Each structure stands twice: as C-alpha cells, then as structure tokens.
A and B are shown apart, each in its own frame.
Chain A
Amino acid sequence: DTGVSQDPRHKITKRGQNVTFRCDPISEHNRLYWYRQTLGQGPEFLTYFQNEAQLEKSRLLSDRFSAERPKGSFSTLEIQRTEQGDSAMYLCASSLIGLANYNEQFFGPGTRLTVL
C-alpha cells in the first residue's frame, strides 16, 4: 500500500509564474479530491474527479486554476499567474466509491506552495 503521493512537497515561485502539482492516488481509488489549506484553517474543497470526469468545482477555484485527471489515475493541478494569496498547502485525497465507507478519504502529505 503506497498511499497517496504528491509531488513536489515544496514549491517556491515568484508571483506571476505558473506552477503544476501532481497527485498519485491509491491505485484502485476512483475519486480524487483537491483541497487548499492555509494556516489555522481546515482543508478547503477545490474540486473532485470521479475517474477522469471533473464533477464538482468550488467557487474558490478561479479561472487561474485548472485540474485534470486524464486517464482516471494521477491528477495535476495547475495555477497560472500565481499570486501571493495562492500561498498555501495543497492537499490531494482519494477514495473508492462502491465501498460502504466511501466517504473515507485518504490524504497525501500535501504540496506547500510559497509565492514570493
């Protein structure tokens, strides 16, 4: 069981640059979620996929943010023209629909983004 992995673990970028994060869910999991967490707050839902379909997007997800899950396996989250307010921990989680406990999400360690 390799768990959910995220890459990179840390990213420092300058304002205005584009960044891309990758998430590899647990292999048989069909749902994949992206969250953003800032200091002192809980994770905030951004978007989720069921297989390769993006089924829900939060209003937090501005048009500078885009997420993909092209083959229903790994996912990428891209932020274009980064702003200092984008500095946060970006968390990925996966779950398996079809089990009784499908609401149980398994989280990755997160990617910490710092925008200078």
Chain B
Amino acid sequence: DQQVKQNSPSLSVQEGRISILNCDYTNSMFDYFLWYKKYPAEGPTFLISISSIKDKNEDGRFTVFLNKSAKHLSLHIVPSQPGDSAVYFCAATDNYGQNFVFGPGTRLSVLP
C-alpha cells in the first residue's frame, strides 16, 4: 500500500524547458511535503518543501505546488538544466517529523 505515489518512473525534457514532476498521496494526516534529488552513489539531497498551510513555495528555479483537496503536489523546474538530471523523490510526513514516507522516485533526464 503505497501512501506516496510518483506514477512517472522517468521524464525527459529539453534544456531550457519546464520540468514538471508529480506526486500523489493517500494519507490525509500528512502535513508536510518535501522533494529530494538523488545523484548516483550519493544520498538524497533536500531540494524544497511545503507545509500543508500553503499551496505554493518557490526557491529559485524550483517551485512546489500543493493541492490538498486532490492530495497532489508537483515540482516545477524552470528552466531545466542538464545538471538537474537525477532521480527526484517526493516525501511526506505528519509534521512531527517522525515517520517520513517516500515515493518511488522519478528519473529526470534533461537533454542538452
């Protein structure tokens, strides 16, 4: 029973265009959502997060949107760069920061 789903295992985008990565969750107790980026042979690196009291959070080229009623969030990367090529994980927690649940990841390839 996957509580956090990333239904696209992979995504290819041209350099300079927008990358949109999607994430759906089922547990309404989740209050805080995070995106992590992972390069091969490294641990995940925190990218951006959003609390359930917001519907948008922006940090440079990265924006996360949260639609709480649809239990859906998305990560937008604009403009996409070849260095963004990595696996992106969506994660959720109940804001007590105890039990984090990760999605299976989406592999983003940004083509030059």
Give the contact stretch, choosing among B42-50, B62-70, B78-86.
Answer: B42-50
Encode B71-112 as 1/0 by CB contact (under 8 A) with A: 000000000000000000101010101111111110000000
Contact of A93 among B42, B43, B105 (CB under 8 A): B43
Kindly state the separation between the CA atoms of A37 and B73 in the bound complex, as whole angstroms.
23
Residue in chain A with minimal CB distance to B51: A103
Residue contact B41 to A105, C-beta cutoff 8 Å: no
Contacts of A85 in B (CB 8 A): none
Kindly state the separation between the CA atoms of A64 and B34 in the bound complex, as whole angstroms.
31
Kindly state the separation between the CA atoms of A110 and B46 in the bound complex, as whole angstroms.
15
Task: Write the nearest CB–CB distance from B80 to chain A, whole angstroms.
Answer: 22
Residue contact B100 to A33, C-beta cutoff 8 Å: yes
Please judge, given known A-B contacts A91-B43, A103-B93, A109-B42, whether A56 and B102 are in contact too, CB under 8 Å: no
Residue in chain B with minimal CB distance to A37: B102
For window 1-55 of chain B, which residues contact chain A by CB distance below 8 Å?
Answer: 4, 9, 32, 34, 36, 41-46, 49
Q: How many B residues face the partner with a CB closer than 8 A?
A: 25
Task: Write the nearest CB–CB distance from A91 to chain B, whole angstroms.
Answer: 6
Residue in chain B with minimal CB distance to A4: B43
Encode A71-109 as 1/0 by CB contact (under 8 A) with B: 000000000000000000001010101000111111111
Residue contact A42 to B91, C-beta cutoff 8 Å: yes
Task: Write the nearest CB–CB distance from A1 to chain B, whole angstroms.
Answer: 13
Chain B interfacial positions (CB closer than 8 Å to A): 4, 9, 32, 34, 36, 41-46, 49, 89, 91, 93, 95, 97-105
Between A and B, 7 residue pairs with Cβ closer than 8 Å are A45-B101, A48-B99, A56-B99, A58-B99, A103-B95, A103-B97, A109-B41
| Nearest 9 Cβ contacts at the A-B interface | A42-B102, A107-B43, A107-B44, A43-B102, A103-B97, A42-B89, A104-B46, A56-B98, A109-B43
Chain A interfacial positions (CB closer than 8 Å to B): 4, 31, 33, 35, 40-45, 48, 55-56, 58, 91, 93, 95, 97, 101-110
If A56-B98, A103-B93, A106-B46 are given as contacts, then 13 extra A-B residue pairs at C-beta distance below 8 Å, sorted by A number, are A31-B97, A40-B105, A42-B4, A43-B44, A43-B100, A45-B100, A48-B99, A56-B99, A102-B97, A103-B97, A104-B46, A105-B100, A108-B43
